[in-house]
């Protein structure tokens, strides 16, 4: 159960951009850059910087797209490279347009906020935070270095402070949104974990009765359209009260968990195992012939009888088996298996019963 929770925590740090979404975003970026390029060219206002930068960016995006399809390259690495292209273009474009020989007015700076939004969208939170700080520092120092060559110190400071304040607000707001998302994700992970606890028997670490019933209903064993071929095995430890009375409850618990572990090893990975109650376990096995079911039951019976738990030997189980074709509902199949278990007990225990 712990690993389940850890898994959720790992996801909190991961970027939520799937490879498919990543490729969609790349297409949007390519369409966006091409459109702006076409507009700039047709209006005759394209700067020498953009005339070189647009095709370079487009080729880089196309390369990222191809890499994301053909290589097994870590997607975080692709996200980072793509972010580097976008942030590199936006920051250098804004600085170039602020330089003296390049004209009086530019709206390149208005796009700079995207650097922070994209960082939090593409990168893991742990990487996005330092990345935004680096981008912020480069932006401020870069613009200061460019502006100071043509403006007075106080004018430069005014512009740079303006950019810095706007960008800090961007970063703060995004960080707040991310913190809220982490909080919500953690609450959801916790709720999931608690729900899973509710379906697992903490002593034996297998499904409890509630968990079994949940899986039964999810498998929709009884529905007409997909009537399943299955068998139910009810496995009950013989004279378990004596184990408790002789060795105490703690050892009794140990016997229960060892038997559960043995059952887990004997059954097929596709079989369903759970603790139905007290000293009773249940196995649901799908699409097996009666012969295979009997072999499974015999493996369980023999396997348990060979167990040695804290020097205790001779522990046995009785097993009642019923098949899906013997009744109309899962409930009735269960009742038949229970009746056969009772018969096995009456017949002396350490016995398997699969018919009346």
Ligand X SMILES: Nc1nc2c(ncn2[C@@H]2O[C@H](COP(=O)(O)OP(=O)(O)OP(=O)(O)O)[C@@H](O)[C@H]2O)c(=O)[nH]1
Catalytic residues, by residue number, are 279
Rounded to whole angstroms, the Cα distance separating 104 from 110 reads: 15
CB of 261 to ligand X, least distance (A): 15
DSSP-derived pairing of the beta strands 230-237 and 280-286: antiparallel
Q: Which is nearer to ligand X, 253 or 310 (CB)?
A: 253
Q: What are phi and psi of 164, to 5 degrees?
A: -60, -45
CB of 237 to ligand X, least distance (A): 5
CB of 248 to ligand X, least distance (A): 8
Number of residues that bind ligand X (CB under 6 A): 16
| Strand blocks (E) in the chain | 230-237, 272-277, 280-286, 317-323, 352-353
136 forms part of the interface with ligand X (CB under 6 A): no
DSSP-derived pairing of the beta strands 272-277 and 280-286: antiparallel
- With contacts defined by CB under 6 A, name the span among 18-26, 53-61, 141-149, 244-252 that binds ligand X: 244-252
| Single residue of 75, 181, 335, 345 touching ligand X by CB under 6 A | 345
Q: Which is nearer to ligand X, 50 or 236 (CB)?
A: 236
352 forms part of the interface with ligand X (CB under 6 A): no
- With contacts defined by CB under 6 A, name the span among 63-71, 122-130, 144-152, 241-249 that binds ligand X: 241-249
DSSP conformation letters of 16-42? ---HHHHHHHHHHHHHHHHHHHHHHHH
Closest CB to ligand X: residue number: 252
CB of 252 to ligand X, least distance (A): 3
| 296, 285 contact by CB (below 8 A) | yes
50 forms part of the interface with ligand X (CB under 6 A): no
| Single residue of 34, 47, 228, 244 touching ligand X by CB under 6 A | 244
| Single residue of 82, 108, 171, 236 touching ligand X by CB under 6 A | 236
| Single residue of 239, 264, 326, 332 touching ligand X by CB under 6 A | 239
CB of 244 to ligand X, least distance (A): 5
User: DSSP state, 113?
Assistant: T
> How many Cα neighbours within 13 Å face the side chain of 123?
21
Which residues in the 178-217 window bind ligand X by CB under 6 A?
203
Q: Which is nearer to ligand X, 109 or 315 (CB)?
A: 315
Residue 264 CB contacts under 8 Å (≥ 6 apart), including other chains: 206, 273
Q: Which is nearer to ligand X, 168 or 203 (CB)?
A: 203
User: DSSP state, 108?
Assistant: G
314 forms part of the interface with ligand X (CB under 6 A): no
271 forms part of the interface with ligand X (CB under 6 A): no
> How many Cα neighbours within 13 Å face the side chain of 103?
14
Question: Per DSSP, what are the bridge partners of residue 154?
Answer: none
Question: Per DSSP, what are the bridge partners of residue 231?
Answer: 285, 323
Neighbours of 273 (CB within 10 A): 20
Q: What are phi and psi of 236, to 5 degrees?
A: -125, 130
Which residues in the 245-264 window bind ligand X by CB under 6 A?
249, 252-253, 256
- The residues of the shown chain that bind ligand X, judged by CB under 6 A, are 203, 236-241, 244, 249, 252-253, 256, 278-279, 345, 349
């Amino acid at each position: 159960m712990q690993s389940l929770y850890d898994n959720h925590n790992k996801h909190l740090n991961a970027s939520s951009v799937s490879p498919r979404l990543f490729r969609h975003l790349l297409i949007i970026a390519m369409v966006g850059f091409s459109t702006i390029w076409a507009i700039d060219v047709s209006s005759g206002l394209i700067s020498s910087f953009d005339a070189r930068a647009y095709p370079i960016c487009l080729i880089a995006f196309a390369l990222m797209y191809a890499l994301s399809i053909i290589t097994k390259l870590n997607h975080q690495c692709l996200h980072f490279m793509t972010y580097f292209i976008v942030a590199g273009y936006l920051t250098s474009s804004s600085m170039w347009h602020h330089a003296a020989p390049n004209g009086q007015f530019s709206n390149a700076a208005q796009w700079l906020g995207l650097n922070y939004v994209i960082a939090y969208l593409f990168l893991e939170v742990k990487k996005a935070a330092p990345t935004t700080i680096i981008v912020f520092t480069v932006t401020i120092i870069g613009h200061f270095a460019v502006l100071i060559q043509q403006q007075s110190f106080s004018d430069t400071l005014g512009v740079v402070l303006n950019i810095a304040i706007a960008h800090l607000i961007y970063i703060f707001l995004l960080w707040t949104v991310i913190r809220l998302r982490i909080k919500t994700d953690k609450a959801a992970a916790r709720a999931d974990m608690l729900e899973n606890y509710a379906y697992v028997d903490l002593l034996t670490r297998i499904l409890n009765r509630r968990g079994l019933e949940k899986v039964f209903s999810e498998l929709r064993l009884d529905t007409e359209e997909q009537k399943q071929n299955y068998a139910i095995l009810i496995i009950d430890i013989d004279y378990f009260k004596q184990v408790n009375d002789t060795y105490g409850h703690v050892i009794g618990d140990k016997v229960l968990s060892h038997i559960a572990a043995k059952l887990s090893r004997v059954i097929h990975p596709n079989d369903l195992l759970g603790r139905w109650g007290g000293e009773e376990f249940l196995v649901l096995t799908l699409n097996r012939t009666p012969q295979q079911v009997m072999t499974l039951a015999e493996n369980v019976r023999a396997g348990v009888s060979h167990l040695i738990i804290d020097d205790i030997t001779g522990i046995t189980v009785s097993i009642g088996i019923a098949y899906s074709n013997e009744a109309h509902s899962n409930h009735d199949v269960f009742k038949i298996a229970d009746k056969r278990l009772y018969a096995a007990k009456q017949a002396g225990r350490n016995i398997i019963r699969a018919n009346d």
